[in-house]
Amino acid sequence: MKSLQQEVHSKIIGKIPDVEFGKDYTIEGDTKQAGHIIVKATKDSKWLVDQFEINIVKDAGKHVETAKKSLQKIKSEDVRVEYNMELVKNKILLDVYKIAPEAKLGIDFVIQGDTKEVGKIVVKAVSSSKILKDQFEIKVISLSSKIVKESLKQIKFTPDLRIGADMKQVRAKILDKIHEIAPEAKLNEDFEIKGDTKKEGGILVKAKPNSKFIKDSFKIKVVKPKSWIEKINISHKIDINQVKVEDDLEQIEADVMDAIYALAPDAQLNRDYWISGNTKNKGSIQVQTQESSKWLEGSKTIAVVSRNISIPIDKRVTIRKLHIRTFPIKTKIENIYSWVEEEIHTVAPEAKKDIDYQVIGSTRKPGIIMVRSLPNSQLIKNSFQIPILDVH
């Protein structure tokens, strides 16, 4: 005989083939003891929500499910003549699956009737079903009849949303929740959604006063994950406000990188932020953060102003254009020092660590190590970064 896990999984993938045990749902409980097993959707599942229980009774060490579930438990809602029967059917399926997830249309229950004329739709358990019993009815009323509005207060939206959650998916889930109680309700016509997931707070789902199907409202919390990292806004954190025409662009970029490294050591150029512009003419240099950055936000404008004095000749060589490679985490720092020295000596053989340049950072975790020239060096200028990666 199949294990309980196998049986549950086969039932679920029969309806949603892409579902994975452990990733989309878990099974909690012990089949060796009388009680109940909880089959619960995970927070990160794209396919499943909520949970259901399987009651376990003693039977020679085997698990058996208890009595048939009654369809009379399902609360029916009136629908109007000529209403979309497909939506009615979908609502029926959702209601039945809530009390009996393993039930199958045509095997365990049937749907009799339609919305073509005033009357009723009967949802009836098949006598041979081992899962369901009884029946419930849905009234089909005339277009002139008044339908009692459903309250949005009865909707439970769990779990709380995380900052940055996909609003397209959130709207779809809200629509599904509302259609469970009012299949005819439409976004912007019967209800509105106010708020988003860009910051901590909440989203308000509110019925419109003129809606014929729903009333009231409900809120969805938007919270910070436990591992949330507050982004640093670089707008007023980088203390470089202006440079002059024909200033060394690479040195300016190095200074910006140093300033950002001091704010967020794990932020990387071209991944978390980029630098654009030049010093050929008056204008500006832009430092812009990537929206996907975990560490930074905002932007910085550095003005490029005219130069009225002669430009001194800078004989220092840049280290920005050296060959850059990556290292795995836990690499001995001495090996990093040795490699850096070899690279710098290819352009400045006499440059020395802690006199002409310094190496900042560690290999204990993924991130970057900053190699930058020192202000008093007569041999080299600028800086570069060495990515430290988790290769496992």
**Banded model confidence at residue 111, pLDDT cuts 50, 70, 90:** very high
Q: Where are the beta strands (DSSP E) in 21-78?
A: 25-28, 35-41, 51-56, 69-70
Structure tokens belonging to residue 344:
């710098």
Report which of residues 385 and 67 the model is more confident about.
385
Dist. CA 324–CA 377, nearest whole Å = 21
Return phi, psi of residue 112, to 5°: -115, 130
| pLDDT confidence tier of residue 309, bands split at 50, 70 and 90 | low
Query: What pLDDT is stored for residue 60 in this prediction?
Result: 44
Cα 133 to Cα 181: distance, rounded to the nearest angstrom: 23
All residues at 6 or more sequence positions from 166 whose CB lies less than 8 Å from its CB, including other chains? 197
pLDDT in tens, 316-368: 899 988 888 899 999 999 999 999 999 999 999 999 999 999 999 889 888 88
Kind and range of the H or E run holding 333: helix 333-345
Does residue 172 register a pLDDT over 60? yes
pLDDT of residue 367: 86
Q: In which region does residue 342 sit, left (phi positive, over 0), alpha (psi from -120 to 50) or beta (all else)?
A: alpha
What SS3 class is residue 37? strand
Best CA proximity match to 163, nearest among 117, 213, 221: 221
Residue of 125, 48, 46, 121 whose CA lies nearest to 85: 121
pLDDT bracket for residue 310 (50, 70, 90): low
Question: By percentage, how much of the chain surpasses pLDDT 70?
Answer: 91
Structural contact between residues 150 and 207, judged by C-beta atoms closer than 8 angstroms: no
Pick the residue with more confidence: 204 or 181? Answer: 204
- pLDDT tens readout for residues 261-270: 888 888 888 8
pLDDT value, residue 64? 44
pLDDT mean over 63-72: 72
User: Highest-confidence range of 73-77, 155-159, 188-192, 227-231, by mean pLDDT?
Assistant: 188-192
Local confidence band at 241 (pLDDT 50, 70, 90 cut-offs): confident
Whether the predicted pLDDT of 65 surpasses 60: no
pLDDT value at residue 62? 45
Q: How far is CA 350 from CA 28, 254, 353, 386, in A?
A: 66, 21, 10, 22
Q: Kindly state the average pLDDT of the residues 10-37.
A: 75
Instruction: Give dist(CA 49, CA 45) in Å, integer.
Output: 8
pLDDT score recorded for residue 289? 93
- Per cent of the chain over pLDDT 90 is 33
CB atoms within 10 A of CB 177: 18
Task: Report the chain's mean pLDDT, rounded to a whole number.
Answer: 85
Residue 311 has pLDDT above 60, yes or no: no
DSSP helix/strand/coil, 295: coil
- Residues 97 and 235: their CA atoms lie apart, in Å, by 53
Q: How many CB atoms lie within 10 A of CB 383?
A: 23
* Residue 2: band (very low, low, confident or very high) from pLDDT cuts 50, 70, 90: very low
